[in-house]
Structure 1
Amino acid sequence: MDEVEVVVAHSERATLRVGDVFLKVDADQARIDVEVEAMAQAPVPTPQVLWRKPPVLALAALPGTALGSLGEPSSASSAAWAATGAAIRTLHDAPLPARHGRAGRSIDELAAELDGECEWLVTNGVLPADLVARNRQVAEAAFRRWTPVFTHGDLQITHVFVDDDKVTGIIDWSEAGQGDASFDLAILTLGHEERLGDVIAGYGTDVDLDVIRAWWSMRSLLVVRWLLDHGFDPFAPGCEVDVLRSRL
Structure 2
Amino acid sequence: MTDHEAARALRQWREAAPDAVLLDGFHALKHALRFGADIRCAITSDKESVLALAAGLAEDMTGAFDDRVVEVPKEALRELVPKGHATQVAALATRRARVDNRQALDRRPRSAPIVVLDNPRNLGNVGAVVRLAAGFGVTGVVTTGDLDPWHTNAVRAGAGLHYATAVEHVDRDALPAGPLYALDPEGEDIRSVVLPDDALLAFGSERHGISPELRGRADRLLSLPMRPQVSSYNLATSVAMTLFHWGGPR
Same fold (TM over 0.5): no
The TM-score with structure 2 as length reference comes to: 0.30
Q: Which has the higher contact order (CA 8 A, sep 6+)?
A: 1
The TM-score with structure 1 as length reference comes to: 0.30
